[in-house]
Amino acid sequence: MTLRINDIAPDFEADTTEGPIRFHDWIGDDYAVLFSHPKDFTPVCTTELGLMASLAPEFTRRNTKIIGISVDPVESHHKWKGDIKIATGHEPAYPLIGDPDLNVAKLYDMLPASLEGEATGRTPADNATVRTVFIIGPDKRIKLSLTYPMTTGRNFDEILRALDSIQLTAKHQVATPANWKQGQDVIITTAVSDEEAIARFGSFERVLPYLRETRQPE
């Protein structure tokens, strides 16, 4: 069954480049980003994991852990790290899950239902849908899910932007408009009355009867 927003993220045990984990215990009280890639030693994936390594401090600043996964074994992940550093200047210091039996990939619906069996001998094309991102909250519920085609590298700045919005709107009764970035005005949700809005945010601008904007709260 497809995972949806606010579903509990499935728990699992797995081997990683940082040792064995139980996923929910590993998340703890933080946010987490679980992102998958089709195959080690492939070009697009190399650029993605290097970029994610460069952004690791930004995720840490947001109390968010990052963890990658593919259907390759952990030994392959370790060997690949050197290539990632050569190509991007950054070596992943975050854990990478080895999932050669497809257990986690299937648990998170990262593969088409038609793909069965083991990962051994597969080409990247066989695993074309395994380029997925999940943002998971401290409550272990899924806050965001995205799936990209194999030929399209992800924009991880957008993942950070979405994470900022998720964390902000979890704290305040606001929403963020299209293309919103940290520090820009936000939208007051319809659940907040005008009187409450003034008490909470000090002031607001009524753009439409149902659209009220205010400065981003702290």
pLDDT tens profile 40-49: 999 999 999 9
Domain extents in the chain: 13-151, 172-214
Whether the pTM exceeds 0.75: the reply is yes
How far is residue 88's CA from residue 109's CA, in Å, rounded to a whole number?
Answer: 29
Q: How far apart are the first and last CA of the chain?
A: 38
Q: If we measure between CA atoms, which residue out of 135, 186, 104 comes closest to residue 32?
A: 135
Cβ-in-10-Å burial (0-12, 13-18, 19+) of 182 comes to: exposed
User: What one-character-per-residue DSSP string does 157-187 give?
Assistant: HHHHHHHHHHHHHHHSSEE--TT--TTS-EE
Share of the chain above pLDDT 70, in %: 91
Please give the CATH superfamily to which domain 172-214 belongs.
Answer: Antioxidant, Horf6; Chain A, domain2 (3.30.1020.10)
Evaluate whether 96 touches 68 at the Cβ level (below 8 Å).
yes
How far is residue 24's CA from residue 9's CA, in Å, rounded to a whole number?
Answer: 8
Evaluate whether 10 touches 42 at the Cβ level (below 8 Å).
no
Evaluate whether 11 touches 5 at the Cβ level (below 8 Å).
no
Give alpha helix (H) positions in 62-171: 74-88, 103-107, 156-171
Give me the catalytic one of 9, 27, 45, 192: 45
Name every residue whose Cβ is closer than 8 Å to that of residue 213 and which is 6 or more positions away in sequence: 177, 185, 186, 187, 188, 204, 205, 207
Per-residue pLDDT for 1 more than 70?
no
H/E element holding 149? none
pLDDT at 37: 93
Residue 200 annotated as catalytic: no
Say which CATH class 13-151 falls into.
alpha beta
pLDDT tens profile 111-169: 765 555 555 555 555 554 568 999 999 999 999 999 988 889 999 999 999 999 999 99
pLDDT at 78: 98
